[in-house]
Amino acid sequence: MRDGTLVHLRSAGTSLVLDCTGTGLPRVLHWGEDLGDGLDQGVLAALARAEVPQTASNNVDVVVPVAVLPEHAAGWLGTPGLTGHRAGADFSTAFAVTSAEATGRALTVTAKDGTAALELRLEIELTASGLVRQRATVSSTAAADRAPFTLSGVLLTLPVPERATEILDMTGRHLRERTPQRHAFTIGTHLRENRKGRTGTDAATVHVAGERGFGFRSGEVWGVHVAWSGNQRSLAERTHTGAAILGGGELLLAGELALGAGESYTTPWVYGSWGRGLDELAARFHGYLRGRERHPRTPRPVTLNVWEAVYFDHDLGKLTELADLAAEVGAERFVLDDGWFRGRRDDHAGLGDWYVDEGVWPEGLHPLARHVRSLGIEFGLWVEPEMVNPDSDLARAHPEWILATGDRLPPESRNQQVLDLGHAGAYAYILERLDALVTEYALTYLKWDHNRDLVDAGHSPTGRAGVHAQTEAVYRLLDELRARHPDLEIESCSSGGGRVDLGILERTDRVWTSDCIDAVERQQIQRFTGLLLPPELMGAHVGAPTAHTTGRTHALGFRAGTALFGHFGIEWDLTRSTPEDRAALIEWIALYKRLRPLLHGGAVVRGDHPDPALWTHGVVAEDRSRAVYAWVQMATSAVSPPGRVTLPGLDPDATYRVAPLAPGDRLVGSRPGRLPWWNEGVTLPGRALATVGVRAPIQWPERLVLIEAVRV
C-alpha cells in the first residue's frame, strides 16, 4: 500500500474507514453505519480533512491523532496504548509505520520504534458479520546485552462519536452473573479491570457506549469485548478535547512479561460491534460465532446433569434410575457430575486425583456408561482439571505444582488451590489423565469446571506472576485434547458463568450460563449473556420446582419456558417427580426438539416494553417466515390488564398468523375467553405487529406464555 492511502472496509452494513497516511499508526475515521460504495481516495481524503479539529489553547501545537494504539509521544494524554520500560527507560513509544497492506476486509500494519528497539504488528479485520477485531504483536529487536522490555500492557481502541453519551456494561456475582448497569458517559475514564485470573462472574462482557436512552431495538450503540479468559481490562474514556474511545486488552500483572531479544507478545483479539440497538450489536457477535468452522453443527442434545439430583452421593442404582427417566422424557445426553473420583465424598478432598474411586465404583464407570448408552443416550463427565485440593494425593506428592508466590500459599477458596499448568510436569499429568478418561469411557462430553479465582497466583519457587502463562497453558491443554479427540465436546463452566468470553469459546462448545437455575434469575442472566452468545451456546436447564440456590418455587411452564431459549437440559431429580410432571416435561422437550433449527439459527430479538414487569424476547427465522416469542411476567405490574406488546424482527411487508404456542399457552391468573384474539389467533401485517402490537394476557408474576408468528 502506498503512503497516503485511506482504507475503507465494509461488511454486513458496517463501514470501517482507516487513515493510514503519514508514518503514524492507523487512525479510525469512521466506525459504524455502512457509507456505501464508490468512496474513492478523493472522497476518503475529503472525509479525513473534514475530521481534522482545530488546535485549542493550552494544548500541544499540533493536531493529536487518536490511533488504534494511542501514544503519549503523539500528544495523546488519555490512557496510552502501550506501557512498559527497559530498566526505567523507553517508557514512551513513538512508532513509525514501515508497511501497511490491505487485503479483502483486513489491514496489516508494521511499525518500529528504533530508540525503544520495539517492533509492532497490528492486525485489523472486519468479519463477515460486521465485527471489527484487532490484535497487536509487540517484539523486542534489542541486542542481547540490553535490558529486557518489561511490558505492562497493550490497549487497543476504537473511537465512538459525540452522540454516544451513555455507557452500559455488566457486573454480577456467583449466582447472579451479567447484571446490567448503565450511566452517563462523562469526561474521564470508566475502567473495568478483572484480576481474578478467569473472565469473572462480574465481567464487563461487552462494554457499550450509545445514544441516550438506547435499547434493544433503538439507538446507535458501539461495544467492545476482550476475547481472553485471564486477567483483562476494558474502558470507555472521554477527554476534555472531545475524543471518546472504547478499548480493551489483557491486564498484565507486575513483571509478568519481559521481552528479551527476539521475543514477542501477541494480545488477545479485541472485538468491536456496532448496531442500531443492542439486538443488532448482539447479532454481529452471534453471526461471527455461527460462522466459525468449529461452531456446533449438530442439533444441541437435551442434556441431563445429575448434580442437583445426587450431589456427591453416587449410587449406581439411583443413577441408572435417573438414566431410565431421562430416556423416558427424551433426554439425549447424560452427564455424571462431581463425586466420581478418589476421595471425593464432599468438596474438601480429591481434586487432582483423577482416577475413578474404586470404593464407590468397583467396576469403574463402565456399568453406568453401558446402561446410559443402551438407552441411546450419550455419556459425559464432569472434571475440574485446573484445581487441586490440599487434601489429595497429588498435592501431597507435588506441592510445587500449586500456583503460589514462593513463600506462602494463597488463601483457599472452596477448599482448593490452583494447579500450575505452566509447570511442565503438572501439564503433562493433567493431559494424560484427561486423555485416558476420554479414551477409556469413550466420552463425548466434558463439563470442564473452574471453581475459584486466582489469588496470589505465582510460579513456585520464583513467585513470578503466573496468570498469563496459566491462561495460555489452559488453551494449549484444550487444543491438544480436542486434537486427540475431534468429536469431544467441552462445556466451559466456572462457578457457573465465570468464564464466558470468545477466547474460551474458540475451544469449547457451550458455557454453563450460571449455577443459578431459578427461572427469574435466569431470565436476566440469559438476556444479557445474549449480548455476546447465541442461544445454542448457553446451557439452560429445567431445575426442581423449588430452586436449590434461591428457595423460590416455580411452575414447570416457567422453568421449562425459560430453558427453551438456550441449550435445553434438565438439572432435577426426576426420581422425585410425578408422572404428571414428566408428562408435561415430555411436551416441553418435544417442543424444544421441534424448534431447535429456529432457536439455534434465527435472530434473537428482545422488546423494549415500557413496563419493567413485562419482558418480551424471542427468535425470528433467518428468512423471517416464522418466529417464537416469550412474554414473561417478571413481577406484578402497576397496571392491569397489560397493554399492547409488539413483536419485533418480522418482515414488515409480510402477513403473519399469531397464536399462543402449546404447551406454553396455559394462562394462570387470567380469565380464559376474555382476551378476544387469544383462543383463535389473529392475522396481521408484520409492520402492524412491530409497531402497534397485540394485547398481552393477564398473568400471575413469574409466569410466561409462548407466542408463535407464522407467515401466511
Which residues are the active-site residues? 449, 515
Let me know the angle formed at the C-alpha of 569 by 375 and 361, rounded to the nearest 5 degrees: 50
Rounded to whole angstroms, how far apart are CA atoms 493 and 211? 34
DSSP 188-211: EEEEEEE-SSSS-TT---SEEEES
Rounded to whole angstroms, how far apart are CA atoms 143 and 362? 61
Residue type, 296: P
Crossing angle between the packed helical segments 316-329 and 366-374, to the nearest 10 degrees: 20
Q: Answer yes or no: are the C-beta atoms of 279 and 648 closer than 8 Å.
A: yes
Q: Scan for cell 467441552, then name that residue.
A: 490
Nearest to 383 by CA among 435, 425, 428, 348: 435
Cell of 74: 503523539
Cross-sheet strand order for the sheet of 6-11: 6-11, 14-19, 27-33
DSSP 264: E
Cell of 360: 464407590
Nearest to 682 by CA among 705, 655, 653: 655
Q: Please tell me the total number of residues recorded for the chain in this structure.
A: 712
Peptide bond between residue 676 and the one before it cis (omega within 30 degrees of 0): no
DSSP 63: -
438 sits in which H/E element:
helix 424-440
Cell of 551: 428457595
Cell of 542: 429445567
Cell of 24: 503514524
- Strand (E) positions, 12-73? 14-19, 27-33
Q: From residue 418, how far is each of 175, 193, 401, 411, 427 by CA, in Å? A: 22, 21, 9, 11, 12
Residue type, 139: S
Cross-sheet strand order for the sheet of 682-685: 603-606, 614-620, 626-633, 703-711, 655-660, 682-685
Q: Answer yes or no: are the C-beta atoms of 530 and 566 closer than 8 Å.
A: no
Q: Answer yes or no: are the C-beta atoms of 113 and 96 closer than 8 Å.
A: yes
Q: Scan for cell 466456572, then name that residue.
A: 494
For residue 490, count CB atoms less than 10 angstroms from its CB and return exposed for 0-12, middle for 13-18, buried for 19 or more. buried
